[in-house]
Amino acid sequence: MRSICLYLHIHQPVRYREYSVFEVSNNSDYYTDDYYGRQSNERIFRKVADKSYRPMLALLEKNIKSHPNFKFSLSITGTWLDQAEKWAPELIEQIKYMVSTGQVEIIGETYYHSLAFFYDETEFDAQVDLHAQKIKSLFGVSPQIFRNTELAYNDKLAKWAEDKGYKGILAEGWDKILGWRSPNYVYRPAGCQNLRLLLKNYRLSDDIAFRFSNHNWSEWPLTVKKYQNWLDMDCLRGNLINLFMDFETFGEHQWKDTGIFYFMDDFIDKWLAEYDNRFVTASEACNLMPPADDISMPETVTWADTERDLSAWLANAMQKTAMHTIYSMRSQILASKDEKLIQDWRYLTTSDHPYSMCTKYWNDGDVHAYFSAYASPYESFMYFMNVIRDLEYRLATK
Amino acid sequence: MLGWELPPHNSGGLGVACYNMAKALSKEGANIEFVIPYEDKETKYEFMQVMPATNLEPIYRYGNGAYESYLIDAKMIPSSNQELLSIRDIQKLYYDYVEKHLQESHPDVVHAHDWLTYEAGILAKKEFGLPLIAHVHATEYDRAGMQRGNPLIHEIEYEGLMMADRIIAVSETTKRIIHEKYHIPLSKIEVIYNSLDEDYEDGDYQFADDAYRSIKKLESEGYTIISTVGRFTIQKGLQNLMRAASLAIKKNPKLLFVFAGNGEEFNELVALSAELGIAKNVVFTGFIRGTKLRDIYTITDIFVMSSISEPFGLTALEAAHHGDALILTKQSGVSEIIWSAMKYDFWDQKKLAEEILAIASSDTLKNTLKDNVRNEYRQISWDKVAKKCLKVYNKIIKHKGIN
């Protein structure tokens, strides 16, 4: 049996607007920009909903209905759910239906898509619990598998997940860690007994997520036939293919006119047409086989950039200062017992914020700059610190 | 090359840019005759032949005439009286000299810098069939702060730009102005950014310990020093800066603004600072250059370029060299090539105040900006400028001026 474990990550941050120092202590609405403003969460959410969420969910639902053995896993951040509840509640209903068929598994993570694990483990725990509660209340299920923000993984996190009773955890199948080993097996994290480790097959995942529409790619255009061929070849190194990618790959990173939707629809059909092929959820994948080996990642590995580390989020002084300041305020913020204040503060922990302060490739004006909601990393930091000033003011005047 | 000034007799960036460009070009093997409208017996230029068009004192290039063209009104017609030479008289003498000189000399290319020398450049092209490059460091629109300016000078600029075989603009901003205001096709215009002089970087400058002691004292008391350098003219947008200063000082009184330079807006700016009630936080240094100017850059934390229109803006690179964090208007050419800086639209006083306050309140932001811009400006050099110029030369020589 050959299995594909398709896992999609669905997320939108709640962006702070260009919050001026002249508004500090006068106006504490950081997250509502003018509808047509650069950081308008509503406009961006509605745009991506039209381009990606709606058509892709429709495609997935269609396949769930027509193929009882089509399955996938989904991680949904709390910040996405908060926004969907306001601007596109029908999307949540659609996911609810798919979860009820048993063909879709929801993966656990932090509510706020944060990097809290690396700063404050208590806060991390709290955010994971908040997320689990939200998932339970909306979909009636409890996540069995865990993924950390940006797939940031290390041995310590695996230990934490095992203690929490998770069945499995997701990470990047990075060559430097795997060496000669293949990502197409189930592994066990070093130092754990029951926890299973699923590793992203980044080549086959990125063929779809990044390269699909790249005309300079020697393999462009990617056809289903060609892709299936590659899968057949890759299955010689193990029968479990972990395709992990952003949900927005479909429609937002790869636009509709690239043919990405047709490709995916056709691919699901063709894959299932062969008798010993199937799709599995992440939990099912963990049970497919006994672990092939123990894998240790003492250093943090992520799914981003060629470095696969946290340097896009936590490298420069601005990012460090911003995150350090945020987490150092925690006990005071929580002690205030002011729910609005606590939520405003937690929205700031989202990893997209330090990402927008990344100067690593800023001068080249590449992908980091292209996807940023701010005019520059420096401006992003400036407005972030203004929000912090106002939070401090609110604390002081409580 | 047809130029109007060379350091030390320069009153702004034009002379510095011409000097460095000529030097880098000669390093690449170019043979340069550089015509200036005055005679400078003291300064020796080893890398090129400097040709004085007149035997007048350097002061006769008419003070700030090169930069304040929009203020010239009465003296547009050459006078016959030698005692009262106007800039037009000097230009006439310059023109005559070039006409005489070209009878003997046969350059491959004529490279004319700004409207002051365009008439002589046009002559070279018309009468002697030489290919002409018009180099635009600033247009009349820039000098007049994007207002109408002097129509006669527009006329001269237009004629020069039309007659030129190729045009070199110092930034995309300038290229756009040449296209939009003078209706020159974009394909005729090349963008070649200026750079910072190597000598400037390698020079043995050391901060004078006794310099600006009062400002340093304030700095030790926790003040942030914000400075701007330039001619006090409408082009530089200094009134916007003053009003932004007032907004910022209301939030953080420990800000000191240094206005270095002089010009026709001086009185107005002093009065404005008093009117806004921030005179105590504003220092005027008068016109400064050389070490004194470097000392200002050194004590500065934040350098602001507030220009309404700035073809390039070399002072920003100088400030970056001395470790300042930069705030630039989006209307400046230098902001097209510098990424590690805060930027704003020249009219947006609130945003400027915002950025000043943000840098003043965060060492992290200040140091990140400083460090990153230092790495960035080093990648720009006059050698690269010279190589690009040579490319332009070779292309038009090959086509014998026919494009």
Task: Residue A287: give its domain's CATH number.
Answer: 3.20.110.20
CA distances (Å), origin A204, targets A233, A286, B138, B158 = 11, 20, 54, 59
Regarding whether B248 and B152 lie in a shared domain, the answer is: no
Regarding whether B29 and B155 lie in a shared domain, the answer is: yes
Regarding whether B148 and B29 lie in a shared domain, the answer is: yes
* Positive or negative torsion for Cα A97, A99, A104, A108: positive
Residue B68 has pLDDT above 80, yes or no: no
Regarding whether A343 and A264 lie in a shared domain, the answer is: no
User: From the CB of residue A4, how many other CB atoms can be counted at a distance below 10 Å?
Assistant: 26
Regarding whether B394 and B296 lie in a shared domain, the answer is: no
Regarding whether A226 and A155 lie in a shared domain, the answer is: yes
Regarding whether B215 and B172 lie in a shared domain, the answer is: no
Cβ within 8 Å, pair A382-B354: yes
**Does A317 lie at the interface with B, CB-CB under 8 angstroms?**
yes
Q: Which two tokens stand for residue B163?
A: 């007659």
Q: Which two tokens stand for residue A83?
A: 């926004």
Residue A302 lies in a domain: no
**Does A315 lie at the interface with B, CB-CB under 8 angstroms?**
no
Residue A306 lies in a domain: no
* Closest A-chain CA to B330: A375
Residue A347 lies in a domain: yes
pLDDT of residue B183: 95
Query: Rounded CA gap, A276 and B213, in Å?
Result: 83
Residues of B in contact with A318 (CB under 8 A): 364-365, 368
Regarding whether A361 and A229 lie in a shared domain, the answer is: no
Average pLDDT, integer, range B140-155: 87
CATH of the domain at B389: 3.40.50.2000
Residue A372: which domain range?
Answer: 311-396
Q: Answer for the pair A247, A48: CB distance below 8 angstroms, yes or no.
A: no
Residue B57 has pLDDT above 50, yes or no: yes
Q: Answer for the pair B134, B112: CB distance below 8 angstroms, yes or no.
A: yes
Residue A90 lies in a domain: yes
Regarding whether A252 and A125 lie in a shared domain, the answer is: yes
Residues of A in contact with B367 (CB under 8 A): 317
- The H-assigned helical ranges of B187-276 are 198-202, 213-220, 238-251, 266-275
Regarding whether B315 and B185 lie in a shared domain, the answer is: no
Regarding whether A279 and A190 lie in a shared domain, the answer is: yes
> From the candidates A123, A150, A172, A252, which is the catalytic residue?
A150
Residue B273 lies in a domain: yes
From A354's Cα to the closest Cα of chain B, the distance in A is 13
Residue B161 lies in a domain: yes
Low-confidence stretches of chain A (pLDDT < 50) are 365
* Positive or negative torsion for Cα A308, A310, A313, A319: negative
Regarding whether A34 and A121 lie in a shared domain, the answer is: yes
Of B342, B354, B369, the CB nearest to A21: B354
Single out the residue of B122, B196, B204 nearest to residue B164, CA to CA.
B122
A121-125, B25-29, B62-66, B215-219: the lowest-pLDDT one: B62-66
CB pairs < 8 Å spanning A and B: 56
pLDDT of residue B379: 80
**Does A1 lie at the interface with B, CB-CB under 8 angstroms?**
no
Residue B64's pLDDT band (boundaries 50, 70, 90)? Answer: very low
pLDDT of residue B8: 84
A150 is catalytic: yes
Backbone conformation region of residue B339, classed left if phi is above 0, alpha if psi is from -120 to 50, else beta: alpha
Residue A153 lies in a domain: yes
What percentage of residues in chain B have a pLDDT greater than 70? 92
Q: Residue for token digits 């310590």? A: A156
pLDDT in tens, B103-119: 999 999 999 999 999 99
* Closest B-chain CA to A322: B364
Query: Rounded CA gap, A381 and A176, in Å?
Result: 33
* Closest A-chain CA to B365: A318
pLDDT of residue A370: 61
**Does B244 lie at the interface with A, CB-CB under 8 angstroms?**
no
Residues of A in contact with B372 (CB under 8 A): 359
Q: Which of A295, A324, A353 is the last residue of a domain?
A: A295
**Does B350 lie at the interface with A, CB-CB under 8 angstroms?**
yes
Of A362, A375, A378, the CB nearest to B365: A378
Q: Answer for the pair A362, A378: CB distance below 8 angstroms, yes or no.
A: no
Regarding whether B372 and B246 lie in a shared domain, the answer is: yes
Q: Residue for token digits 């809290």? A: A116
Residue B48 lies in a domain: yes
Number of domains within chain A: 2
- For residues B75 and B220, the model is more confident at B220
Phi–psi pair at B315, nearest 5 degrees: -60, -30
Regarding whether A147 and A40 lie in a shared domain, the answer is: yes
Average pLDDT, integer, range B170-175: 94
Residue B5 lies in a domain: no
Residue A58 lies in a domain: yes
Regarding whether A193 and A81 lie in a shared domain, the answer is: yes
Q: Which of A271, A295, A319 is the last residue of a domain?
A: A295
Regarding whether A251 and A207 lie in a shared domain, the answer is: yes
Residue B69: which domain range?
Answer: 13-195+381-398
* Closest B-chain CA to A382: B358
Residue B317 has pLDDT above 50, yes or no: yes
pLDDT of residue B403: 43
pLDDT of residue B149: 86
pLDDT of residue B7: 84
Residue B54's pLDDT band (boundaries 50, 70, 90)? Answer: confident
**Does B368 lie at the interface with A, CB-CB under 8 angstroms?**
yes
Regarding whether B188 and B59 lie in a shared domain, the answer is: yes
Residue B133 has pLDDT above 90, yes or no: yes
How many Å from the N-terminal Cα to the C-terminal Cα in chain B? 21
Regarding whether B221 and B188 lie in a shared domain, the answer is: no
CA B58 to chain centre: 19
Regarding whether B237 and B184 lie in a shared domain, the answer is: no
Residue B2 lies in a domain: no
What is the overall mean pLDDT for chain B?
89
> Based on the number of CB atoms within 10 Å of its own CB, is B402 exposed (0-12), middle (13-18) or buried (19 or more)?
exposed
Residue A304 lies in a domain: no
User: Any bridge partners for residue B224, and if so which?
Assistant: B255
Regarding whether A205 and A60 lie in a shared domain, the answer is: yes
Regarding whether B209 and B176 lie in a shared domain, the answer is: no
pLDDT in tens, B352-389: 999 999 999 999 999 999 999 988 888 888 998 999 99
Regarding whether A266 and A218 lie in a shared domain, the answer is: yes
3-state secondary structure (DSSP) of residue A99: helix
3-state secondary structure (DSSP) of residue B318: helix
Residues of A in contact with B376 (CB under 8 A): 363
Regarding whether B36 and B181 lie in a shared domain, the answer is: yes
Residue A301 lies in a domain: no
Residue B7 lies in a domain: no
Number of domains within chain B: 2
Regarding whether A127 and A79 lie in a shared domain, the answer is: yes
From B365's Cα to the closest Cα of chain A, the distance in A is 6
What is the CA angle A347-A353-A358, rounded to 5?
A: 170
pLDDT of residue B78: 53
Provide CB contacts within 8 A for B139, sequence distance 6+.
B157, B174, B177, B178, B181, B182, B311
**Does A26 lie at the interface with B, CB-CB under 8 angstroms?**
no
What is this structure's pTM? 0.89
Phi–psi pair at A374, nearest 5 degrees: -115, 155
Would you state the torsion angle of the CA atoms of residues A284, A288, A294, A297, taken in this order, to the nearest 10 degrees?
Answer: -40
